[in-house]
Amino acid sequence: KTLIGRGTPSSPSFSGCSSDPCTHGGTCQSTSDGGFLCVCPTEPVAYAGALCEELYDACSERVCPHNQTCHAAPGALNHTCRCPPGSWGPTCDTAGCGDHGCPGSCAVQPCHHGGTCLAAGAGSACLCLPGWTGPLCEEDVDECKSGPCQNGALCVNDPGGFLCYCVPGFQGPHCELDINECASRPCKHEASCINRVDGYQCLCSPGYTGLNCETEIDECESDPCQNGGSCLDGIGTYQCLCSPGFTGHNCQVDIDECESQPCANGGICQNFINRFQCDCGGTGFEGALCEVEVLECLSSPCLHNATCLDGLGNYTCVCLPGYHGEHCEMDEDDCAGDPCLHGGLCLQRSNQSLYGGAQPVFPGTFSYSSAAGFVCQCLPGFAGDNCSVDVNECESHPCQNGGTCEDLPNSFQCHCLAGYTGVSCMVNVDDCASEPCFHGAPCEDGVNDYVCHCPPRWGGKDCSVLLTGCEGHACRPGAQCTPTYRAGAHGYACRCPPGFHGPTCAQPTTFSLAPGGSLLVALPVGDDGPGPAAVSLRFRTTLPDGLLFSRGDAVESLTLELSRGSLRATLRSPGSELALSLRAPSLSDGHWHRAEAALARSALELRLWHEACGSAPCLRSRPLAEEVAPLAGASSTGCAVGPR
């Protein structure tokens, strides 16, 4: 069961649970209206109220019927309902018992709480267990009335008994035993333990402190060691490790390092912490102990890397070239006489900013030994140590396209050949700018020339000549005649249709062969013998098998044939045969096809131009074995076209 009490803040400065208002271990919960709720404990004793400030009364909720009386111990969650005197039974509607017992028999088990029913004549009587009383053992005996709990313990009456809730420090059924807190030996480091009520006291040994004497006293906590000394803590004592220069129990004494008179040659000793310093002023000596005679050159009085010559109480500086002065402190101005001609910039070698960096003027690093002199930075067109030399700009051959170069001061001039212009003759003159072509012919610019692309029927340099060469031409029927005009003479050229060749297209190049027929073609032989074995031809057929081309003889040959509609090339030589095939759509479809077989780069290559191959021809290639030689000899100067 949960017991909850509602409360409000005790003052405007607190809100909700900020003031921890719940007592007896109650849990506080803030509410949205600024108030709070106390969830009161129920064990070992139940509390109630807005702040859990009072023992819970189980009878406050009127849990018994109207004809019964509620009985409950303070702080207990349970209760009992008792009948009024003279009545008994579950609903208190049975007549009461008299001096001679209760009416009725033991058969109905009238005794409560484990009481024993005893027959008495026509009635019965109840023998109650300890803790219960009444005619039917229905009343709980309040054992707390006799005050059984000792040492300030809280007595809580239970049905049939009681419980003692001891205050801290006591135990036992009646809280009659004082707990010995020293029995667990809580005191450390050989301290003495004194038992107290609900507690104990430790009498610590020297050097220790704390509730259980568990803490060693840190004698160094007060920082007894002075002047930076380190403290070592002991048991009831401490030791100081002094910083250099100090001594004493607490490092409070400064050691006098001048006591041993360390300074020589009349030097004055000045004592400091853990050190001393010798003042050698006016003694003519120096050093930590004034033991070294002063050398004037040791202070490096000479500047710009000059040499110092030590004397008796003085010194002399020997300057490097380019510097002068008592200490060689003055840099001589080598550019004072404007040595650089034609506007050149004079740069002194002693200027250290001109060395190193991203774009150094002088190479390497600066050196005082080479700081004398100057360098002239010449304007474009001039060179030499003092910029006295005029640079010949034509040496770089700036004029292009055969132009002639003329040198000028800090410049040049190109004399261009006909057809070119520009500073370096790099511009081709546009000879078409004057529109020399007639009859709308496009003009193509050249070098000091132009070409007119004349329309049909017109010719000549500027397309002004009417072409008449095709009048009475000899081109065969079906060929196209194109008129020409060369060297002032009219002529014509024949453009042959497919299947014809020659000046007048009279020579046929297309043959129709029946199965079993062939055409023998003689091949020209040059001075170096027959050319490489290769063939390129166009063909059309409806036969799936047949020879398209053969070159050679029965011993060695190159053949191109159709096998089941696919293209096949075969190279035969003594003791070997090399074949290539192209798997493509059937070529025996009656349409024109172009094929090529060739021996190239020590390999046999087979090409086919077909729409299935895309923009490039289909290609198969196989390298030739070393023993396979290309076709040669007289037998290879002839070839057969068509089946044989």
pLDDT tens-digit series, residues 611-637: 888 888 998 888 886 645 555 443 445
Predicted confidence at residue 313, as pLDDT, reads: 58
pLDDT band with cut points at 50, 70 and 90 for residue 314: confident
Predicted confidence at residue 435, as pLDDT, reads: 92
Strand partners, 638: 522
What distance in Å separates the CA atoms of residue 641 and residue 162, rounded to the nearest whole number? 134
Predicted confidence at residue 83, as pLDDT, reads: 74
Predicted confidence at residue 537, as pLDDT, reads: 84
Both structure tokens of 640: 């057969």
Domain 296-330 and domain 393-428, same fold? Reply is yes
pLDDT surpasses 50 at 290? yes
Name the region of 251 (left: φ>0; alpha: ψ -120 to 50; beta: rest).
left
Please give the angle made by the CA atoms of 531, 536 and 537, to the nearest 5 degrees: 140
pLDDT surpasses 80 at 7? no
- Residue whose tokens read 């010719």: 459
What distance in Å separates the CA atoms of residue 609 and residue 597, rounded to the nearest whole number? 12
The phi and psi torsions of 626 (rounded to 5 degrees) equal -60, -30
Q: For 161-216, how does the pLDDT look when each residue is reduced to its tens digit (9 = 90+)?
A: 888 888 888 888 899 888 888 988 999 988 999 988 878 999 998 889 899 998 88
pLDDT surpasses 80 at 241? yes
pLDDT surpasses 80 at 570? yes
Domain boundaries, the chain: 296-330, 393-428, 534-609
What distance in Å separates the CA atoms of residue 190 and residue 615, rounded to the nearest whole number? 107
Q: Which residues of 244-269 are buried (b: 16+ CB within 10 A; e: fewer)?
A: ebbeeebbeeeeebeeeeebebebeb
What distance in Å separates the CA atoms of residue 572 and residue 286, rounded to the nearest whole number? 109
List of residues 6+ apart from 12 with CB closer than 8 A? none
Give the C-alpha distances (Å, rounded to integers) separating 550 from 531, 578, 582, 636.
Answer: 15, 15, 18, 10
Predicted confidence at residue 225, as pLDDT, reads: 94
Is the preceding peptide bond at 44 cis, omega within 30 degrees of 0? yes
What distance in Å separates the CA atoms of residue 426 and residue 233, rounded to the nearest whole number? 97
| Alpha carbon 354 to its chain's center | 43
Higher pLDDT residue, 481 or 628?
481
SS3 category, 218 = coil
Predicted confidence at residue 414, as pLDDT, reads: 94
SS3 category, 157 = strand
Predicted confidence at residue 278, as pLDDT, reads: 93
Least confident of 73-87, 410-424, 432-446, 518-532: 518-532
User: Considering only CA atoms, which of 431, 429, 421, 419 is closest in space to residue 399?
Assistant: 421
What distance in Å separates the CA atoms of residue 558 and residue 640, rounded to the nearest whole number? 11
List of residues 6+ apart from 290 with CB closer than 8 A? 263, 264, 265, 266, 267, 278, 280, 283
The mean pLDDT value for 436-456 works out to: 91
Predicted confidence at residue 519, as pLDDT, reads: 59
What distance in Å separates the CA atoms of residue 639 and residue 556, rounded to the nearest whole number? 12
What distance in Å separates the CA atoms of residue 399 and residue 417, rounded to the nearest whole number? 10
Handedness of CA 470, 471, 476, 478 (dihedral sign): positive
Predicted confidence at residue 629, as pLDDT, reads: 52
List of residues 6+ apart from 15 with CB closer than 8 A? 9, 30, 34
Is 1:77 a contact under the CB 8 Å cutoff?
yes
Predicted confidence at residue 3, as pLDDT, reads: 66
List of residues 6+ apart from 310 with CB closer than 8 A? 295, 296, 297
Candidates 3.40.430.10, 3.40.640.10, 2.60.120.200, 1.10.150.120; CATH matching 534-609: 2.60.120.200
What distance in Å separates the CA atoms of residue 240 and residue 588, rounded to the nearest whole number? 117
Strand 323-324 and strand 199-203: the pairing is unpaired
Is 40:24 a contact under the CB 8 Å cutoff?
yes
Is 21:14 a contact under the CB 8 Å cutoff?
no
In percent, the amount of the chain with pLDDT more than 90 equals: 22
| Alpha carbon 41 to its chain's center | 58
What distance in Å separates the CA atoms of residue 373 and residue 321, rounded to the nearest whole number? 9
CA atoms within 13 A on the CB side of 45: 23
SS3 category, 58 = helix
pLDDT surpasses 60 at 515? yes
Predicted confidence at residue 511, as pLDDT, reads: 66
Both structure tokens of 597: 């077989």
In whole numbers, what is the pLDDT of the chain averaged over residues? 83
pLDDT surpasses 80 at 572? yes
- Look at the domain 296-330 and name its fold: Laminin (2.10.25)
List of residues 6+ apart from 196 with CB closer than 8 A? 181
- Residue whose tokens read 């007595």: 155
pTM over 0.75: no
What distance in Å separates the CA atoms of residue 132 and residue 143, rounded to the nearest whole number? 10
Predicted confidence at residue 527, as pLDDT, reads: 47
Instruction: Please report, in angstroms and rounded to a whole number, the separation of the first and last CA atoms in the chain.
Output: 120
List of residues 6+ apart from 71 with CB closer than 8 A? 59, 79, 80, 81, 82, 139, 140
Give the C-alpha distances (Å, rounded to integers) separating 383 from 119, 362, 413.
Answer: 152, 17, 20
The phi and psi torsions of 59 (rounded to 5 degrees) equal -85, -5
The mean pLDDT value for 510-516 works out to: 66
In percent, the amount of the chain with pLDDT more than 70 equals: 87
Neighbours of 204 (CB within 10 A): 20
Predicted confidence at residue 557, as pLDDT, reads: 85
Is 415:407 a contact under the CB 8 Å cutoff?
no
pLDDT surpasses 50 at 130? yes
DSSP structure string for 124-146: EEEEPPTTEESTTS-EE--GGGG
User: Considering only CA atoms, which of 556, 579, 581 is closest in space to residue 567?
Assistant: 581
User: Considering only CA atoms, which of 211, 203, 231, 205 is closest in space to residue 219?
Assistant: 231
Least confident of 243-252, 388-397, 520-529, 600-609: 520-529
DSSP structure string for 99-115: TTBEES-GGG----TTP
User: Considering only CA atoms, which of 504, 577, 567 is closest in space to residue 535?
Assistant: 567
Classify domain 393-428 by CATH architecture: Ribbon (2.10)
Is 548:537 a contact under the CB 8 Å cutoff?
yes
What distance in Å separates the CA atoms of residue 458 and residue 91, rounded to the nearest whole number? 143
